[in-house]
């Protein structure tokens, strides 16, 4: 198992030839993907859309998706044929935490949804609830779920703007997905998003 290999991602583009309205109009769920890899520019752009840092003010590094109290309880993980990577918004980089292609394993965790193993990129959104509940109590759980939706929407609209297909997945065995990731007991997987070129 490879650990701590660092990949600095290309700086995200802040302009596009696709308008937000066009991306909203064109976005659809796709479950068939070509066997074609994404490049680092595409991967970096998608991850930045989900959790990238956009502003530093008052000592806070604000991100692309709104977060209650700017507490940012989410962690993003990437499953690809190169292994599993953890996205770090600070520095806009990936840290490799496993060098094995575990997309098939992730597919099995998601009740055998085959497109997960076929998609060149799967993003798993995980939550550390305590980052938000320490301030907002049980109400913070709702805020975390809202934030997961904000992040997922940013990701799938960015994928659409890049000419890529995506599908959001909520049907999976939570403990089984956790077993694939070296994450703490307080970190919970909420979302899988499969991304690639549509067949």
CA distance readout (Å), 132 to 85, 138, 160: 24, 9, 30
DSSP one-letter string for 175-186: HHHHHHS---TT
Kindly state the percentage of the chain with pLDDT values over 90.
Answer: 93
- Continuous H helices in the chain: 20-26, 40-51, 103-109, 115-118, 130-136, 139-161, 174-180
Q: How confident is the model at residue 1 (pLDDT cuts 50, 70, 90)?
A: very low
Structure tokens at 176: 């089984």
Helix then strand then coil, in percent of the chain rounded to 5, is: 35, 30, 35
Q: What are phi and psi of 40, to 5 degrees?
A: -65, -30
Average pLDDT over residues 113-118: 98
Q: Reply yes or no on whether the pLDDT at 2 is more than 70.
A: no
Give the domain ranges of the chain: 18-196
At 3 the pLDDT is 63
89-113 confidence digits (pLDDT tens):
999 999 999 999 999 999 999 999 9
Q: Reply yes or no on whether the pLDDT at 184 is more than 90.
A: no
Average pLDDT across the chain, whole number: 96
Q: How confident is the model at residue 185 (pLDDT cuts 50, 70, 90)?
A: confident
Kindly state the percentage of the chain with pLDDT values over 70.
Answer: 98
Q: How confident is the model at residue 4 (pLDDT cuts 50, 70, 90)?
A: confident
Q: From the options 3.50.50.60, 2.30.30.230, 3.40.109.10, 3.40.50.300, give the CATH code of 18-196.
A: 3.40.109.10
Expressed in angstroms, the distance from the first to the final Cα of the chain is 32
25-62 confidence digits (pLDDT tens):
999 999 999 999 999 999 999 999 999 999 999 889 99
CA distance 173 to 183: 15
Note whether 193 and 167 are within 8 A (CB). Answer: yes
CA distance readout (Å), 88 to 78, 92, 199: 11, 6, 31
Q: At what angle do helices 40-51 and 139-161 cross, to 10 degrees?
A: 150
At 55 the pLDDT is 95
116: nearest Cα among 30, 190, 38 = 30
Average pLDDT over residues 170-182: 96
């Amino acid at each position: 198992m490879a650990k701590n290999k660092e990949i600095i991602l290309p700086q995200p583009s802040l302009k596009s030839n696709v308008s937000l309205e066009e991306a909203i109009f064109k976005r659809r769920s796709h479950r068939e993907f070509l066997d074609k890899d994404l490049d680092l520019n595409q991967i970096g752009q998608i991850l930045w859309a989900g959790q990238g840092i956009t502003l530093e003010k008052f000592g806070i590094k604000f991100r692309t998706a709104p977060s209650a109290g700017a507490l940012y309880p989410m962690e993003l993980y990437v499953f690809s044929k190169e292994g599993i990577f953890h996205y770090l918004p600070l520095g806009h980089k990936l840290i490799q935490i496993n060098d094995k292609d575990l997309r098939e394993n992730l597919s099995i965790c998601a009740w055998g949804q085959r497109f997960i193993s076929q998609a060149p990129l799967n993003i798993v959104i995980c939550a550390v609830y305590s980052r938000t509940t320490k301030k907002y109590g049980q109400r913070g759980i709702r805020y975390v779920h809202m934030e997961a939706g904000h992040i997922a929407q940013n990701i799938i609209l960015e994928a659409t703007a890049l000419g890529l297909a995506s599908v959001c997945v909520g049907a999976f065995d939570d403990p089984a997905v956790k077993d694939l990731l070296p994450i703490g007991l307080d970190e919970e997987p909420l979302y899988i998003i499969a991304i690639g070129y549509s067949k």
